Structure 1
Amino acid sequence: MADRLFFKDAVSESPSGWHWWFASTCIPLVAATIGPLCNVLSIAALVSPWRVTLPNNGELPGGADDNGVGVSDPHWELILNGVSLACGFAGNFFLLLNFTGGARYIIALPLSIVFWILASGILIAITTALSIHEALSGPGEIYSQGFWHAVMAAILYFAGCIILVVNMVGYFLGHYPQQFDLDDDQRTLILQTMMFFFWLAGGAAVFTALEGWSYSNALYYADVTVLTIGFGDFHPNTNSGRGFLFFYEIFGIIFLGLVISSISRFAANIGADKIIKRHQRHARESTVGRTVTNEDELRERLGLPPRKDSVATTLAMGTSQGESLHKYGHLKITGRTVTFHEKAMHASGGGRGGAARRGTSGSLSTPKTAALSRDAKLAARSAGQSSESKRRQRRHKLLLLEKEKDRFEAMREIQDETQRWKQYWALFMAVTAFGILWFLGALVFMLSESRLLGLSYFQMLYFGFVSLLTIGYGDFSPTSNIGKPFFIVWSLFAVPIVTVLIQNMSSTVVSAINRGTFKLADWTVLPNRGAIRDFVDHHPTLKRYLERRQAHKRVEQGFQVQNPDDVGRDVDGGTNIAPSQREDERGSRTETDAAETPHDLVRQLAKTIKAVAQDLRSSPPKRYKYDEWRHFKKLIRFSAPSSEGGLIEEEEEADLIEWDWIGEDSPMLADVAEAEWVLNRLCESLTRYSRRQALLARRLEKAPDVRDEIAEAGKDDNGSL
């Protein structure tokens, strides 16, 4: 209760806003991934001396960093270093309790922050005190890998504290609750990361004992080995080390693959749950905002006077019933896109610039003109360059969605565009992360290796590229005491990112190349029947040109009497039904549907449930056509109760029976596959029918003499009981 009173807004059930969702979910997982890495670096800093003495006062080639002899550290430094490592472990422990629910958020997370601040602060204090009171004694003495491991551990501990503080700020502001509802992928990522770093640190300890290397060098070797880079600067020299490598590398690759797989799934979930849905929502809002279904809506959207008659007519190219739109401008309909170019109207009112023309309802129909005004804004508006004019021009390009099928196809287009955007967005993010790590890593390596290698920035770019792709030629490798610790941290972040990049490229670039190859084969070595027709159908301009040309040829050849046997067939074998014939068929189909009895629909329902259940195993997931959805909708709705029958179901079921294809209740926006959604609705329809039949049977048992009266009164519009 105290938490609710003090943090009264911190009880919302979900994060408000994309940024706060990132703070509530991604930040704790990143911190849980960084924590074990900090512990490994702290262990290396504790067991390694922080200063080494180089032979020949550091003169090359004998004075390389690998030839340095360790200098004993003062006892106070070792004690404080151990305390820092203990604080780091404690911070990870409480963070894990926070995730598993073993401790309350308001207790566990502040303790994690406090312990990590202590771990980072102690390491910073040690390095500062050591540089002041135990300064380097000349050019032959330098800081060791242990020192730089401590520096990097302090930086990462502090970074973890900062992001956890951001997470707590969001909680205090009430953007998300304190409970962590982790899914399986997120739990797996945390556990696998801990196992991987435990394996890395433990393997380094074993190689130190078997090969006689320092722990820092053994940790560097274990990192290069598990990541399959293999520079060759370190390799086992004993049979025991080679034998242990068999066991160590097999399980190391397994752990690495599991971590990378979990990171890939987590990155995909981030896009699917928030970013992609946000993009799809904006696309739907844009579509709905530009949608018109008849002339009255078009006039209202453009600010034109309403029709004199109250009947809403269907938009037609060049004609409309009642008052024509051509009086105000040029209307062009291309596919489902409606473009209206407004005519320039002369001022007809008083005032210096002329008052705006008003429609019959008094609403503005054209933007104000200010031809005589010297005001810059009015002049820009008069020229059509103001923001208001540009917004008005954008509103003139609308979407004509007259029928339910048009809305269905518009939603399919939104889905396809969102899927393409998702792929290229993921590829862009992976390429950006790869580029940042590559270019910044090359800069750090150039500076850190300048004394020993003296390589150019381009050569370090080459080294970074070879390392990121795990090629590892061995012609270049880090040799300095700062280069090796930095390479460990850099590679552990970079290699998984490169793997995700390659996966995204396989789903975008490689898929595009495959589609282009198949399309080329359809037109060349493996001609595909119907390829030309599909190409023409996807290019409306070319299709209209060919239709006009064909019509012109028919006019030149003269009109021919059609063979009665060919009625209903086009020249190329397609259907060619006159509008009146289509209406007759549509009417007969409606009569057939109306004539279907409830028993017929129940039999169809059973068959459809069986077919849809088989679609659940389809890979990729089944996407149904509009005619299939019409059939599903009929079977879902036939068991819906009617208000006349008095059987009113729960209000929640209304959204499952009636929906808008572009609205929030669209089946295409469900978190499950279309087959699963349809199967659930069909089963609910069968349940409603069974429940209604059972209720009707009980009524008949009570009053058998009114059987016929109840049967007639209980029928709905579709003829079902």
Structure 2
Amino acid sequence: MSIHQYFTLCCTCFRGTWLSSSKLTKLPYSNGTLDVASCLLRLLFTKIDWWWASALIPLLGATLGPLANLSSIAALVTSWRAQINIGGQFLAELDGTLYADPGWVYWLNVVSLICGFLGNLFLLFNFTQRIRYIVALPATILFWLLASGLLIGLTVSMELNFPPLRPNQTYTQGFWYAVAAAAMYLLCSLLLMINMLGHFLGRYPDDFILSDSQRTLILQTMAFIIWLGGGAATFSKIETDSGQSGWHFANAVYFCDVTILTVGFGDFYPTTDLSRGMVIPYSVGGIVILALIVNSIYKFMREMGEQNIVLKHTERIRVRTRDLAAQNSFDLRQRESNEHHVIRRRTVNAATRPRISMPTQPRVLRTSINDTASPSNTGSNPLSLVVSNISLMGKKKKKARAILLREEKERFQAMRDIQMRSRRFKKWIALVISVIAFGILWCVGAVVFWQAEKKAQNMTYFRALYFCYISLLTIGYGDLSPKTNAGRTFFVIWSLIAVPTITVLVSDMGDTVVHKFKEWSNQLADFTVLPKHGIWRDFLEKHPWLLQWILGIQARKALKRRLKRGFEATDPDANEESGGPQPGDTDIEKQETVSPTTSSNRNADTEETDELDSSSLGRHLALNIRRVVADLRHPTPKQYEYEEWVEFTRLIRNTRGSITRGDAEGEEDEEEGLVEWDWIGSDSPMMSGMSEPEWLLHRLCESLIRMDRRREEIYGRNRSRDPDGVDRPKDDGGDADLVIEQTIYGVDPGSGHKE
């Protein structure tokens, strides 16, 4: 296959012609190169989830861009080489004397800084939609690539043409800041290229729709970098004017970094009263901005996890449960029979085929819920099958058997169980991600410090791990601190990323580990130190076998006491003559009067319920709207019980009762989805992406509007049918609006007026 044919194929695929897998497998070329290309294209179009490219990459570029600009400034204002052998005496790298660089290094560094600022500016205009995506993003990539290329060329040329004369000379922090800036510019450019690729593939639109937390995070990051750089310039100016050596801009950035992050190694500190006085307001402002950044990062990660990880995890479990759900025992038996035959057909091959004389015992089909049995008389929880089968969904090697879900309440409880599992998954997956990020920063950072500080302070990997740990936790004993230019430069960038990470980790631990420990400590205190009233009764009710065992012991002891005391003489015909209740009558009466509420009975009751008039229905709608609005004010989203959902559903359905057939038939069919849904289906209120009070508020308001519109239609129809042309009075719902307003605004609805 020629290059032209391959390029034409790629362009065709990018336009969307070869999106289906069948076309990708039936191409006119069949060599190995095309097979690999088709697999890659199919992977790009069907398998890869691009949400991270549309949400994470632009935000990462917006946060790393200002940090790269600060590094580029440090590389510009700080000389790249220093003399550490003065008068035959070797000094530490940090105490060396700087000397000037060639002029071309300085001016190319200026051009690189300008390109970096322009790239960041175009990205900001892209976020604010001042410039179109298709113009701003390529401009950002181009300027950052130019900035990275210039810095890479400068560092390589310096090493090849004007290297420091070792061991008398060495590179300063300015050189290493140039290396760091080049790496960050290049990384951001490559990430934005991936974002543009996802747009060209049609995975997301050409705009950045930022949430409040994302927009706030970008602004706070820029403010923090400005605060860090401005403080470094101020402290450098004050200390240098007072005659202190070594307070160039790069060292001042390090001082401001350890001050704001509250690490405080003590190796670099202010020496004048003016600087000491400025530390107080400067540190307070920096800590506040850093706390805001950490809070925004935490909110952003929760949003991303909720929208792209937790919801997909919930949807995956819901679809699996829905596919496994059976409506009756016959369906369950048929599915198990089909699965049994598939397994036997797969496992019994020619090599292991049983002989004629070999007995075979087919698997016994099982049904956990009988058709004639009800949850009240089966003696077991009908949800045990649901929970046990849902727990098997995470096991890939075991195929879960079908779930028998006939009752609507069982499906509701199954969806509640899915929600509970998803909430636990959300908390623990956030903790796992934070622990992994913390481990990577800890271990990889230790490797860099080990290599950078090996010669300066005989650093080992264990000591580097110890140093990174006390730095991440902001302990800062001061026994170990960066002593080389490369180590100090890396510490500034590494700490700005690592300290917020450990803060997010602590927050995630508070939602999981600390919360569990708090629950266990409270339970222990309820049983021991601060006993809670009724705690033992609740414990026994949760463990029926223990309760039965204790009751059996008490019954045996009572029997022994009666045997010792003897039996009382009574007239056996007394109960018959008095007509009193016989033993067992109570149980029989209960069985006759109490019957389990099935789905069909509940539907029949709903259909036979007398419809309310417009005034009463409007009053009930208004009362429930006020109740739902009050539930919306709760700090945690409220979840309603099944019985409450039944009442809400019945109320919404009653708004359809007064409409006649005929011209309104299409409208009724259209509104069928408002009150009919499957609890484990895609139209379930629990899968709407809104809280339950918010979802109910929308539906109740729609019902209120629909009821008022239909009342007006009926009233207008009655007026048109009046042969005398005289206005007829309205029906019972004539003052429903007044009643609704009085109810919503807290006035007694019973005081409504009738005209």
Aligned-pair CA distance for 1:274: 0.6
Q: Which digits, 9 at most, give the CA deviation of each residue in 1:547-601, with x for residues without a partner?
A: 99999999999xxx9986999999xxxxx98343223999799389713523443
**1:310-459 equivalence runs, <5 A:** 335-338=382-385, 394-396=399-401, 398-459=402-463
Whether the aligned pair in 2 keeps the contact of 1:336 and 1:399 (CA below 8 Å) is no
Q: 2:78 is matched with which residue: 48, 62, 69? A: 48
Structure 1 position 654 matched with structure 2 position 672? yes
Deviates more, 1:121-130 or 1:235-244: 235-244
> CA separation of 1:615/1:544 partners in 2, compared to 1, >3 Å: closer, same or farther?
same
How big is the shift at 1:17? 7.0
1:583 aligns with 595
Tell whether 2:108 aligns with 1:66: no
Cα displacement string for residues 396-424 of structure 1 (whole angstroms, at most 9, x for unaligned residues): 3x322221111111111100110001100
Q: Does 1:690 align with 2:720?
A: no
Match of 1:128 in 2: 156
Aligned with residue 684 of structure 2, among 660, 666, 674: 666
- Alpha-carbon offset, residue 304 of structure 1: 5.9
What is the SS of the residue equivalent to 2:716? Answer: helix
Mapped pair 1:158 → 2:158: no
Shift of 1:211: 1.0
2:633 aligned residue (583, 603, 617): 617
Q: 1:633·1:657 contact (CA, 8 Å) conserved in 2?
A: yes
Q: Which amino acid aligns with 2:493?
A: V
Q: Are 1:115 and 2:137 matched, yes or no?
A: no
Q: 1:245 aligns with which of 279, 292, 295?
A: 279
Distance 2:642 2:88 in 1: 77
Cα deviation for residue 681 of structure 1 reads: 1.1
Percent of residue pairs bearing the same amino acid type: 42
For residues 267 and 151 of structure 1, what CA distance do their matches in structure 2 show?
Answer: 30
* Residue in 2 that maps onto 1:216: 250
Q: Distance in 2 between matches of 1:304 and 1:555?
A: 54
**Gap change, CA 1:317 and 1:435, over 3 Å in 2:** closer
> 1:105 matched to which residue of 2?
133
Gaps of at least 5 residues in structure 2 are: 1-10, 20-44, 241-246, 340-365, 387-394, 563-574, 732-755
2-side partners of 1:448 and 1:568: how far apart? 88
* Distance in 2 separating the partners of 1:618 and 1:665: 25
Q: Secondary structure at the match of 1:665?
A: coil
Are 2:692 and 1:644 aligned?
no
Q: In 2, Cα distance between the equivalents of 1:333 and 1:33?
A: 56
TM-score, structure 1 as length reference:
0.79
For 2:67 and 2:125, how far apart are their aligned partners in 1? 18
CA contact (8 A) 2:84 2:96 kept: yes
Residue pair 1:337, 1:399 contacting (<8 A) in 2 also:
no
SS at 2:98 equivalent: strand
Query: Displacement, 1:82?
Result: 0.8
Q: How far off its partner does 1:93 sit? A: 1.0
Name whichever of 696-705 and 639-648 sits farther off: 639-648
Q: CA deviation at 1:393?
A: 6.9
Corresponding residue for 2:500? 496
Is the 2:116–2:147 contact (alpha carbons within 8 Å) kept by the matching residues of 1?
yes
The answer for the alignment partner of 1:377 in structure 2 is none
Aligned pair partner of 1:187 in 189, 206, 215: 215
**Does the aligned pair in 2 maintain the 1:66–1:480 contact within 8 Å?**
yes
1: distance between equivalents of 2:277 and 2:69?
28
- Distance apart, 1:8 and its partner CA: 5.1
**Deviation at residue 643 of structure 1 after TM alignment:** 6.8
Checking the alignment, whether the CA contact within 8 Å between 1:16 and 1:175 is kept in structure 2 is no
Inter-partner Cα distance in structure 2 for 1:23 and 1:252: 31
Code of the residue aligned with 1:110 in structure 2: it is P
Superposed displacement of residue 392, structure 1: 11
C-alpha separation in 1, matches of 2:455 and 2:473: 26
Query: Partners of 1:553 and 1:406 in 2: how far apart?
Result: 41
Is 1:511 the equivalent of 2:515?
yes
Amino acid aligned to 1:701 = R
Change (3 A) 1:103 1:392: closer
Count of residue pairs brought into register by the alignment: 628
Counterparts of 1:649 and 1:100, CA distance in 2: 42
Q: In structure 1, how many angstroms separate the alpha carbons of the residues matched to 2:259 and 2:555?
A: 72
Cα gap change, 1:167 to 1:546, in 2 (>3 Å): farther
User: What is the TM-score normalised by the length of structure 2?
Assistant: 0.76
Aligned twin of 1:92: 120
Query: Which of 249, 257, 262 is residue 296 of structure 2 equivalent to?
Result: 262
CA RMSD between the two structures: 4.0
C-alpha separation in 2, matches of 1:482 and 1:465: 19
In structure 2, how many angstroms separate the alpha carbons of the residues matched to 1:422 and 1:671? 15
DSSP 3-state at the match of 1:70: strand
Matched-pair contact (CA < 8 Å) for 1:116–1:161: yes
Contact preservation (8 Å) 1:83, 1:119:
yes
Change (3 A) 1:500 1:272: same
Amino acid at match of 1:667: P
State the partner residue of 2:60.
30
Report the Cα distance in structure 2 between the residues aligned to 1:240 and 1:694, rounded to whole angstroms.
78
Q: Deviations over 1:322-371 (max 9, x none)?
A: 9xxxxxxxx998643559xxxxxxxxxxxxxxxxxxxxxxxxxxxxxxxx
Q: Given the superposition, is the C-alpha separation of residues 204 and 6 from structure 1 closer, same or farther in structure 2, using an over 3 Å criterion? A: farther
SS at match of 2:288: helix
In structure 2, how many angstroms separate the alpha carbons of the residues matched to 1:320 and 1:684? 38
Q: Distance in 2 between matches of 1:703 and 1:577?
A: 56
CA distance in structure 1 between the partners assigned to 2:524 and 2:589 by the alignment: 34
- Whole-angstrom CA distance in 2 between matches of 1:133 and 1:241: 40
Alpha-carbon deviation of 1:459?
2.0
Shift of 1:508: 0.6
Alignment partners' CA distance in 1, 2:557 and 2:47: 60
Does 2:617 match 1:594? no
Question: Which segment drifts farther, 28-37 or 583-592?
Answer: 583-592
1:629 pairs, out of 645, 666, 678, with 645
Deviation at 1:55, TM superposition (A): 3.0
- In 2, the alpha carbon distance for the partners of 1:65 and 1:636 equals 77
C-alpha change, 1:160 and 1:543, in structure 2 (3 Å) is farther
1:482-493 alignment runs, 5 A limit: 482-493=486-497
- 1:139 aligned partner: 167
CA distance in 1 between partners of 2:557 and 2:334 (Å) = 42
Are the counterparts in 2 of residues 302 and 395 from structure 1 also a CA contact under 8 Å?
Answer: no
